[in-house]
Structure 1
Amino acid sequence: MRANLSVLRAMLALMLALLGSFTLTAAWGAVPNGRAEPAYAEEQTMLQIEGDSRAREPGLMSSESGRVHMDRHFLGQYGESEGNVIVQRGGNTWRTLRNGPIASIAGTILIGVPLLIFLFYKAIGPAREEPQSGRKLQRFSRWDRQVHWATAISFILLAITGLIITFGKKILLPWMGHDFFSWVAWISKYVHNFVGPLFILCSIVMFITFLRRNFYNRKDLEWVKQGGGLVSHKHVPAGYFNAGEKSWFWFGVTLLGLVMSITGLVLNFVNFGQTRYVLQVANYLHIIGATFYIAAAMGHIYIGTWGTPGAYEAMRHGTVDENWAKAHHSLWYEDVKAGVPGTPPGPAAGTPPGAPGAPRTPPSPRPGPAH
């Protein structure tokens, strides 16, 4: 146990070191405000006008902000469109933040998380594998699995194309060359834009499908206290979903899904009156939300595959071995065994009579007295 704690301390120190390195890379990636150079000659002229002016520029919420063609960060519209905005000075700020500290944070997290997962796997190892009993329980229905995989595949497509859009110019362009990378970027852009609405639809259907099974209860508190047995490899009693899976549902699928869906729609459909500033803020939130969503998904994928032997079978084929269910979701197993009404999927097709969860056959009526 002490060895495990030492490993966890080392992993925490590594994460702090990665975050520390970010502060340096962020400062290198972005242009410090004190030395920032205007992006265009027109902006230099605007800055000179502002510097010579006795009246300061109106603030963020002022309808007078920017004098129409010198928009800085005004949230409203200038008429029906921004077609008469010649230079939006906030664009240079957006580019500096997006390509500087925000990209640096995202890159650090997306490199650091899989590294930590690998170290955890090597130091702590996966959950204990249970011997096979040969008796199967139905865990997920065909509909459950179709919804899950439709959402997962669309998520992976969005993650890959989003990473290409965000980092491709720095990572892929140098060795692909301009011609080939232009096609990769073009395809990624359109795949991202068209798959996005499909992912939103899949996320809504997934939320409705799995909502009833993801409400927290008091028994989840004990699972949290014991850290799900991830380090001790102890099987903590859990219902159909444990507290970790429920947290993924609420904070990942639901909360981050909302952030990604709303900001994605704002960015994807730009003909509903959004100003440039609104689009820039949406882009900030979209990149930040995607970073945490992808990082959390890495943990979800690890736990559902190498981290928990037998878990992938449940979502791949819909069934789990009886011993697996008894070890990892003992409270659900007991409900299935007892035939508690409303318990999600029970015995798999072909389960012999008398096995846990098999439909109970009512006793034959005893013959009564002849009349």
Structure 2
Amino acid sequence: MKNIPSLFRFFALFWILAGIALANNPSVAKESGKQYAESTQGNNSLMINPMNLKLYGGPEVEAVKSWGINSPDSIGWGEIFTFLQGHYFSSIFALVILFTILAFLGHYMVIGQKKFNHGKKIRVFSTYNILIHWCAAIPFMLVCLTGLIMVFGDKLGGGVLVRFARDIHGIATIVFVIFGILMFLMWVRNALPKAYDIEWLLIMGGYLSQEKKPIPAGKFNAGQKMWFWICTIGGFVMATSGAYMFFQFADIETLRIMALVHNALGFLIIAFLITHIYMAVFAIEGALNAMIDGHMGEEEIAILHKFYYKEINA
């Protein structure tokens, strides 16, 4: 606490000196508060991207006018993008991770793990189901992990780790898209919403109680269906917006929109991914085995997937 006044004086002095330097910089225009290079011709040879001639060089320098917060030239998505990217995206990701983990830690401590008799087992997933699931799930988790490394890159020191994460991010995305399409086609019929899904949502799937009362759900419950749509459709939107940003084959405004969409969807995906892992590993004893050997205990199906149990016994 004793260092706060000294720290404040340091930053105050820094910004005063920076202001003096900018005020005397001949390359910065002063009229109408505009802060961009007076001459753009010399920049056309810098960082030329053959895929997007509108993004780099002179046009890029001109576009800087809309990057500043509260600038007279702040237009379009420039202000909100700069504001969120520079101040809030990493903080929101950190809060999403923290509160989601704390919520499930509280659930585990208060409600605890659901346990079922796994004596008699029923095969519910084929070898093909299991293979496609893991071929999509592993790259998907890599995409999320490497994405978070890039989000918190400045906190991790940048450098080799972040560049490596960026490369893995792109490769894993391609693999996920391929197997994600196969997974979508494989389970889209089971993931279609049903009327009883509303009842499942109203009782939170019965996870707020240890009572073993049959829950209205088919092969997939409402929570799993939501995760399916967020993972597949949301994942494909993330891949598309990520491709726009990586290859930069759009104008600056479109790239800003893609970055905003990419991050906003990222919040949702990270929260649901943590939820999915918690449910599979901690919330229900032995639940993960269903995606390893394809079998679920009869009692677990009868309680947690009432309508699916009726269907397979019809």
TM-score after normalising by structure 1: 0.65
Deviation (angstroms), 1:86: 5.0
Counterparts of residues 1-371 of structure 1 (less than 5 Å): 45-46=28-29, 48-51=30-33, 82-87=56-61, 88-89=63-64, 90-91=66-67, 94-127=81-114, 129-133=115-119, 135-170=120-155, 172-173=156-157, 182-233=159-210, 234-250=213-229, 252-270=230-248, 272=249, 274-338=250-314
Query: Aligned letter for 2:138?
Result: I
Distance 1:295 1:80, change over 3 A: closer
CA contact (8 A) 2:54 2:251 kept: no
Task: State the alpha-carbon separation in 2 of the partners of residues 255 and 318 from structure 1.
Answer: 25
Deviation (angstroms), 1:44: 7.8
Deviation (angstroms), 1:150: 1.3
Distance 1:142 1:168, change over 3 A: same
CA contact (8 A) 1:267 1:279 kept: yes
Structure having the higher Rg: 1
CA shift digits 1:161-189 (9 cap, x unpaired): 1111110221x22xxxxxxx522122111
Deviation (angstroms), 1:104: 1.6
Q: Which moved more, 1:106-115 or 1:233-242?
A: 233-242
Distance 1:67 1:97, change over 3 A: farther
Deviation (angstroms), 1:67: 11
Task: State the alpha-carbon separation in 2 of the partners of residues 336 and 78 from structure 1.
Answer: 55
SS at match of 1:235: coil
Partner of 2:75: none
Deviation (angstroms), 1:115: 1.4
SS at match of 1:45: coil
Percent sequence identity over matched residues? 28
Deviation (angstroms), 1:43: 10
SS at match of 1:306: helix
Task: State the alpha-carbon separation in 2 of the partners of residues 119 and 277 from structure 1.
Answer: 42
Deviation (angstroms), 1:246: 1.4
Q: Which moved more, 1:289-298 or 1:320-329?
A: 320-329
Query: Aligned letter for 1:241?
Result: F
Aligned length: 269
Distance 1:43 1:329, change over 3 A: farther
CA contact (8 A) 1:310 1:324 kept: no
Deviation (angstroms), 1:195: 1.6
Query: Aligned letter for 1:333?
Result: Y
SS at match of 1:185: helix
Task: State the alpha-carbon separation in 2 of the partners of residues 329 and 266 from structure 1.
Answer: 41
Deviation (angstroms), 1:131: 1.8
Distance 1:79 1:323, change over 3 A: closer
Distance 1:152 1:313, change over 3 A: same
CA contact (8 A) 1:240 1:329 kept: yes
Task: State the alpha-carbon separation in 2 of the partners of residues 198 and 241 from structure 1.
Answer: 25
SS at match of 2:58: coil
The root-mean-square deviation of aligned C-alpha atoms, in Å, is 3.0
CA contact (8 A) 1:109 1:291 kept: yes
SS at match of 1:320: strand
